[in-house]
């Protein structure tokens, strides 16, 4: 037995599909859908071009901002280095001034101590002289008192008065 394909109006199912496709293509051509599809594709292409142009301008802006920030960063690095150098220089100056001030202070304190020692030595020498003079005066008074009597004293006083008058 052989199979028989069904047909309608002398068209088998593949023929009907082909006819339907021809009708659809004819309708699409008659309604000028290909122009609408072309316009839709053209608008999509224009939209994509606009997006690409916008992306390009954004990329350029980003590169400009990047360059600006890199310049600022380099400038900040230079400023930071300059500040560090200035701070080191100022610190060195402060240390040098502190050394000089310390030396001056030590010299002044040394002079003050030497002056105080010299003053104390003078006071001690004066006290020693005063004590020696008092001791010598007391010793002389004792010696005079032991060796001289009233007659000798009277004779010495008369000599002293005579010397004073003759002058």
From CA 117, how far away is CA 122, in angstroms rounded?
A: 9
Domain boundaries, the chain: 13-166
Per-residue pLDDT for 48 more than 90?
A: yes
Is the dihedral angle over the CA atoms 52, 58, 61, 67 positive or is it negative? negative
* Calpha distance 30→24 (Å, rounded): 10
What is the tens place of the pLDDT at every residue in 72-95? Answer: 998 998 999 999 999 999 999 999
Mean pLDDT for 59-63 is 96
Rounded Cα gap, residues 69 and 61, in angstroms:
12
Percent residues over pLDDT 70 in the chain: 96
The span from the CA of 146 to the CA of 87, in Å, is: 86
- Counting DSSP H helices and E strands in the chain, the numbers are 3, 0
pTM: 0.39
């Amino acid at each position: 037995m052989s199979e028989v394909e069904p047909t309608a109006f002398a068209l088998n199912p593949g023929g009907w599909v082909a006819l339907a496709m021809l009708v659809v293509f004819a309708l699409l051509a008659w309604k000028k859908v290909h122009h609408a599809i072309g316009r839709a594709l053209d608008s999509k292409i224009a939209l994509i071009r606009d997006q690409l142009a916008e992306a390009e301008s954004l990329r350029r802006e980003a590169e400009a901002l990047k360059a600006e920030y890199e310049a600022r960063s380099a400038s900040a690095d230079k400023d930071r280095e300059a500040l560090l150098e200035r701070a080191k220089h100022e610190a060195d100056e402060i240390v040098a001034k502190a050394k000089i001030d310390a030396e001056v202070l030590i010299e002044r304190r040394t002079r003050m101590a030497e002056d105080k020692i010299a003053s104390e030595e003078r006071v001690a020498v004066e006290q020693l002289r005063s004590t020696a003079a008092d001791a010598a005066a007391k010793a002389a008074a004792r010696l005079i008192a032991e060796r001289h009597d009233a007659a000798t004293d009277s004779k010495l006083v008369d000599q002293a008065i005579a010397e004073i008058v003759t002058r």
